[in-house]
Every structure is written in C-alpha cells, then in structure tokens.
Chains A and B, each alone.
Chain A
Amino acid sequence: MLKKSYFVITLAMVAIFALGACAPATPDCASEDVFCVGFVTDVGKIDDKSFNQSTWEGVELAREEGIADQTKYIETIDAKDYDKNIAEFGDANYDVIITVGFALGEATYKAAGIYPDIDFIGIDQFQAWEFDGDDSTNIANVTGLNFPEDHAGFLVGALGAMMSESGQIGAVCGTDLVPPVWRFGEGYKAGAAYIDPDVEVSVIYHSDVGFDKTFTDPEWGATTANSMIDKGVDVVFGCGGKTGNGAVTAAVQREVYGIGVDTDQYFTLPEAAPRLLSSAMKLLTPGTFDLIKLAKEGNLSSGNAFGTAAYAPYHDVEDEVPAEVKAQMDEIAAGLIDGSITTDVPPVKP
C-alpha cells in the first residue's frame, strides 16, 4: 500500500516536472541554415518593462530584420532553474543563447563548457579574465554584454548637480560588491564633480545584509532617502532594483527629484513619475541586437562587449529643466561617446 502511494506520488511529480519544462519543439535548429536564438530571463517575467523586456526586444528586432529565424524565451521562475532552462536551448542545438543578469553568470559559464558550439551572450556578466589576466576562466564561447554604467551615472550625476538648489545630491544603491552598481555610484560622483566640485554627493550602498537582500529592500531605501533629504539633499538617484525604487519613491513623496536606473523608470515606477527627473539607462535593445548580428556573421569574440549608456527623457518635469541644462546634457552625452569627456572610473572596484 505504502509503496504504491509512493509510486503514484513519484509519477505525479515526474508529470509536473515534465509539464513545467515545456521543451521548445524546434528540431531544425541543428541545421546550418536555421539561425536560432534562445533567451533565458532572470527570475521574473518577459514583459517586466525592465531588463528582460528590453533585451528580448533586441532579440525580436533580430528576428524582424531577418538575422534570426527562430527566437524563443524561457522565463525563469526560480534561481534553481538557471541550468535547466539554459539546457533546454542547449539540447535543442540553438545557435545563440542569451542569459540576462549578473546572477546567471555562473550558470552561463557552466553551460558554455557543456555546449562548446553555441555562442553564449551574458547580459551584465562581466568577464573578469580580460582584466585580471587569469586565462583559465576564459571560455571561448561566452561574451559578456556590459554597459558603461559610469557613463550613465555620470550623466544623471551631472544633471542632478545642475538641478539641485541646495547643492547636495544623493544616491541610494544596492551593494558595491556588484561592479555595475559600484560604477553607477562612482560615475554619479564624477558627473556631479564635473559640473561643480563643490556639490556634496552622498552615495550610500546597502552592503550590510545578504547579497540577495541588497536589491529587494525598498523599506531601507526609503528610510535612507528620507535621512538624506533631512540633511538637505534634493536629488535622489536610486540605483539598485527595488531598494533603489524605494528611495526614488520616497524622494518623490518628499517632493524632491528622483532619478531612476537601468531603463526609463517613468514607465516602470508610476508612483515616482510626477517628479522623476530622468533615468540612468543602459541601451539593452540595440546592444543585444548588435551582438546577435555579430554572432550570425561569425564575428562574435569572447570577453567583454560594451553597449551604450544614456539618460531618459524628462517627461513630466520637462518644463522645469532650463534650456541651458538640456543643452549641456546633450554636450556631455556626446562628449562621453566621442571620448572627450572621461569618467576615470575603473571597470572594477580597486
């Protein structure tokens, strides 16, 4: 009796796992003529109006442009499934597999070893070997798509410094153990100093809790932002997931400017929209598209590729931003791209 019920439970569990996997049925991806791009999200939905969605739009663009013949995505429900989800595409002989987010870096490395013929593109996965010279971690089929966060931070730091009336601006960030977050913060300081070295910049990192918590603690973000505002800060840049969102929302409630991060948060954080000055953006869609194109041409090299940083439109506060500030922002953005302005922020924290 007992044995039988175990059998039934096991059978049920197998059935559930089989259903959950939902293998993409694409036998033709193994063929030379069919170019397939698989996309594994970080935990979250494909239409998250943020990282996943912007990257996926780059993949879809590649399909519309005729570069990719077949594109599919798998939404990761739980961090434990990273390996399994990547393997879905690996086993189906996809040509390119894109994984989104710093957290998938390790799983991507592992999978690249198992499927040496597939090109892996890791968004926000910094390939440290290019800098530390440790060639043993160089895997030939992994390319990290990174963004000059220091540029994005520089842009909004400059904007904040120009828009601040009190001469004090702040940033509330996730942990500085994640290089992109640290670069946002350092870029922010550099941007403010570029406008006026006397502007006081406080960048506060949430480094005193578990790694996963640093980006999902909006209450801490709000408390920290409030504490800054008490001291006269009137522009708050939130860089670090939900923690940053908490800070930006708190800033907007106190009627000072908030600045978003990664994508144009005017659309992702409606609570903050009325006083959202801008967002420090990573242009994920063109960055992803370009790498897929390179992969198709067979020119994708391992190591780090760099996308472009930008700042989001002013939206609701358009009328409050003086024309000369707008003009100067255009100049700075152009200067960062052509190299006439440098942030002097190293790629990793020294």
Chain B
Amino acid sequence: MVVAVGGQKDSPLLIITSMLATTIAVATPLTLGALSGIFCERAGVVNIGIEGMMLGAAFFGWLAAIYMNTIFDVAPLPSLLVGVLFAMLSGGLFALLHAVLSITYKVDQIIGGTVINILAVGITGFLNRQLFFEKGSIFGGQVPHAPGVLPRLQIPFLVDIPVLGRIFDQQPLTIAAILLVIISHYVIFYTPWGLRMRAVGEHPRAADTVGINVSFTRYANVIIGGMLAGLGGAYFTLESVPSFEPLMTNGRGFISLAAMIFGNWTPFGAWAASLVFGAAQALQINLQFYRELIPDQWAILQNSYVVGLAPYILTMLILTGIIGKTTPPAADGIPYEK
C-alpha cells in the first residue's frame, strides 16, 4: 500500500518508522530530565531547576569537548566523551548547589530551583559571549570547529530489519537514556538504596528513627539527579547538533517535570510520558510533510502548532485530575528538621 500525498509516495510503514525513530530520539532529554526529577523528588527535594541544569550541562559539556579537541588536540570521539563527562559533572555541581540551599539551609525549594534556572541562563549566556565572541579570548573571538556529534550506534541484528531497522539506529545518549530507565526502576524499587531514598521522601522522621541519614540520602540523590539532567543537557550539544545556542533547552526541563508527574514518579511511567511528548514533536514535524492528507473538515489540524498543543492539554487534564490521580512523595518539598 502506498500513500500518494502531493507527489510524495511513502509507504505508511516508512512514515511510522521514521516517526518512531524521531520520537525516541527527541524524547531523550525529556526522559533523562524526568529521571533527574524522580531521583530528587523521591528523596523529598522538589527540583524545578532541571531546565537550568540541562542548559548549564549543555554548555559546559560542549565547552569541554571543544577544549579537548582544539586546545589539547584530542581526537573527536574522546573529546566528545570527555564532554559528556563534564556535562554530567556540571549537572551534578548545579545539583550540589540546589542541595546546599534546600537541605542544609532549608531555603524554599521552588526558590532554589528558580535560582538555578536563572543562574544557568546567566552563566552560559555570559561565557558563551566572552569565550567565543570577544576578540582576544582563548578561541580568538570565534566559535571554533566543534568535534562533531556522538556517532550513531547500530544495534546488531535489529538494525538489519528492512525499514523498521531505522528505529534501532540511534545515538549513544538515546540508548543510554533507555538503559537508565531500567536501571533507575531497579535501583528505586529493588535495592536498599532505593528503599532509603523512598523512606526519606515519604516520611523522613521515621527514616531518621531507624538510623537512615536523611541529609546524606537527600544530598546523594539530588546530585545523582543533577548528573542525569546533565546527561540530558549533553544531548543538545554533543548528540543533536555540534553547537551551543543561548536558551537552547527551550523549556524541555519543564516538560520533563510534567513527564515525571504524568508518569506518577516512576521511571517507566515517566519514560512513557516522555515518549508521548516526543511523539507530539515528531507528529508536528511530519504533519508538515503530509498536510494534504488531512481532510478539509479537520482543517484546523493542518496548523502544526495545534497538534503541538496536544501534550500540554493532556498534561493539564492529568494535573487537574480528570484523567487520573497522581501522588507525589509525601514529604516532597518539605525540608527536614531534626
């Protein structure tokens, strides 16, 4: 069967495959951001700074990769891997700041997260300008040649399936995100670490009574969360495009928070939600290819932004409790006082 659209002849299977491949790829930062949120909030710390952590990590990871490649003459692939490492580290550092503010100093956690979002915009914007657009800077006032992006990995055997194989031809962070969903699920629900994390997030006093170090548990999980957000940031500059753009995370951190809530604070739920958001983006793009397919009585859907609204409407419906009820960890957002 072939659909002929305004001169385009693509089989529906090809269209669906392409959309699935796009969906999985664009869901990567959302999935990692949502996992970041789960680690923080399961331990009882609200993290609305994921957006900032991602943006900061996108910049510093990219900077590290360029530095290695340009200044130290390291080959592109190792440079990129160092970039990924630095992205995770900078995400972790932003998270450490959030942890200090919200756990040690018991600052309102919404404020702490906002601080990180604003800080990341400022730092990355300023350094981007200073390093790459000022004469006499280390890179001579221009953006140096980036070491490219992380290479595609073809999953053996699966990638050889005709047409559908494209789904299994993905870049490393995309694959890592999916593995991390499985690992996180195991860690949170089947290990002592996960049990302590959840105990601290649900009832810190009870956890404290049985000898769990509340402060340490929260610190550790917030930092792990920050590193996951950092990995999500690396997607932008090391996997998707070899360049940095101020504000390039473009609200993905907030969407991943929505995905976390949508997924009821569970890794698989959050992943599914991220895929829904990713699918909306894939649909928006593909709708422009196949606009003519939409019948005239549905003309409003020919505007790609109408389709783009779908996941947000869905989120609102969920948040208002129409579709289902979500339950956050009981002590989420409440500082623990001994």
**Residues of chain A at the chain B interface (Cβ within 8 Å):** 44-45, 47, 49, 198, 200, 202, 204-205, 207-209, 213, 216-219, 221-224, 226-228, 230-232, 242, 245-246, 249-250, 253, 270-271
Contacts and interface: CB of A to CB of B under 8 A. Distances in A.
Interface string B261-279: 0000000000000000000
Interface string B299-338: 0000111001000000000000000000000000000000
A202 B289 contact: yes
15 contacts: A49-B142, A200-B7, A202-B288, A205-B288, A208-B305, A208-B308, A218-B243, A219-B236, A222-B240, A222-B241, A227-B22, A230-B166, A232-B10, A245-B243, A246-B243
Interface of B: 7-10, 14-15, 17-19, 21-22, 25-26, 133, 141-142, 145-146, 148-149, 166, 236, 240-243, 245-248, 250, 281-282, 284-286, 288-289, 303-305, 308
A224 B285 contact: yes
A145 B286 CA distance: 35
B33 to A, nearest CB: 14
Nearest to A250: B241
A223 B22 contact: yes
Nearest to A269: B243
A293 to B, nearest CB: 31
B8 A230 contact: no
Contacts of B22: 223, 226-227, 230
Contacts, number: 95
A252 to B, nearest CB: 9
Contacts of B9: 200
A231 B10 contact: yes
Contacts of A217: 245, 248, 250
A231 B289 contact: yes
Main secondary structure of the interface of B (DSSP, over half): helix
Main secondary structure of the interface of A (DSSP, over half): helix
Contacts of B248: 216-219
A271 B284 CA distance: 27
A213 B250 contact: yes
When A and B form their complex, which 3 residue pairs have the shortest distance between CB atoms, in order from nearest? A208-B305, A230-B18, A218-B241
B241 A226 contact: no
A221 B242 CA distance: 12
B241 A204 contact: no
B65 to A, nearest CB: 13
A345 to B, nearest CB: 18
B21 A230 contact: yes
A226 B240 CA distance: 10
A119 B282 CA distance: 48
A198 B9 CA distance: 11
A224 B19 CA distance: 11
A45 B132 CA distance: 11
B305 A271 contact: no
A231 B18 contact: yes
A257 B230 CA distance: 32
B242 A271 contact: yes
Contacts of B14: 230-231
Contacts of B8: 200, 202
B133 A45 contact: yes
B252 to A, nearest CB: 9
Contact of B286 (A47, A213, A227, A250): A227
B285 A227 contact: yes
B304 A208 contact: yes
Nearest to B242: A271
Contacts of B303: 208
Nearest to B286: A227
